[in-house]
Amino acid sequence: MKKIVIAIDGWSSCGKSTLAKQLAKELGYIYIDSGAMYRAVTLYFLRNHVDWTNTSEVTEALTNINLQFKPNSVNGESEIYLNEENVEYVIRDMVVAEKVSEVAAIEEVRSFAVAEQQKMGAAKGIVMDGRDIGTTVFPDAELKIFMTADIAVRVERRFREMYSKNPNITIEEVKDNLEMRDYIDSHRKVSPLQKAADAIEINNTGLSPDEQLLLALKFIDKLIF
């Protein structure tokens, strides 16, 4: 059974991470959450008061950032470390969510992240999800999946996720944040979110996690056996 690179792109709250984690577990692959990398950079910028409109400040700050993924000793899932600190849960805060699309649109930040991601995927046997994985990071990936879902379903999913961590959040705040991120992600100058020409689209509006996993595995079976 040969190892491949699986690139999963799509809009926010379309279940990209859920599917990527499922596939990594099923195949024994390494899961890389590219979005967590941009969130970790954003967290560093916020903590250190980096003016991300200033190119020289951004460039200098990036030299002080070290990102790693390490398995959780309890559940085995990959978690992101920023300069040796586990920030897997800190980066999910709404303060980071509101700024991550701005930071991720910066050319220097994207170049930094893409270079790190490509190093991680050199040995193959990985599943990576994000917004430009199949178009920019791994344009030659053996399997590219583009995920989408109805906006109302996406808002509800994100609200449930955020509410468990912040009961004071409103569904209107989540909807506004999601729409803003969609616009920035698809209109940014560098590596905008778009479906790769050879990507397989999965609309999971009416699919359960198990159903989308089975669908994706059908595509994979044709490539690895």
Neighbours of 29 (CB within 10 A): 19
- How many structural domains is the chain composed of? 1
pLDDT at 166 over 90: no
Residue type at 50 in one-letter notation: V
Asked, for residue 92, whether it belongs to a domain, the answer is: yes
Length of the chain: 225
Classify residue 137: in a domain, yes or no.
Answer: yes
Report if residue 53 sits inside a domain: yes
Question: Is residue 24 in a domain?
Answer: yes
pLDDT number for residue 116: 93
Average pLDDT over residues 63-81: 90
Does the pTM surpass 0.85? The reply is no
Amino acid at site 159: F
How many CB atoms neighbour CB 139 within 10 A? 13
Q: Is residue 118 helix, strand or coil?
A: helix
Q: DSSP readout, 125-177? A: -EEEEESSIIIII-TT-SEEEEEE--HHHHHHHHHHHHHTT-TT--HHHHHHH
What element of type H or E holds 10?
Answer: strand 5-10
Q: Does residue 219 belong to any structural domain of this protein?
A: no
126-130 vs 30-33, strand pairing mode: parallel
In a domain, 31, yes or no: yes
Q: What is the CATH number of the domain that holds 105?
A: 3.40.50.300
- State the average pLDDT for the chain: 93
In a domain, residue 221? The reply is no
Indicate if the pLDDT at residue 111 is higher than 90.
yes
Whether 74 has a pLDDT exceeding 90, the answer reads no
Residue 206: which domain range? 5-214
Residue-by-residue DSSP string for 44-83: HHHHTT--TT-HHHHHHHHTT--EEEEE-TTT--EEEEET
165-183: average pLDDT: 90
- CA gap 12, 191 in Å, rounded: 16
Q: What pLDDT is recorded for position 162?
A: 84
Mean pLDDT of 59-82: 91
Mean local confidence (pLDDT), 79-99? 94
Helix, strand, or coil (residue 93): coil
Q: How far is the C-alpha of 187 from the C-alpha of 143, rounded, in Å?
A: 25
Q: Is residue 135 part of a domain?
A: yes
Least confident span in 77-86, 99-108, 184-193 = 184-193
Task: Please give the average per-residue pLDDT across 45-65, as a whole number.
Answer: 98
Instruction: List residues bridging with 68 in a β-sheet.
Output: 81
Q: What is the pLDDT of residues 119-147, one digit of tens each?
A: 989 989 999 999 899 999 999 999 999 99
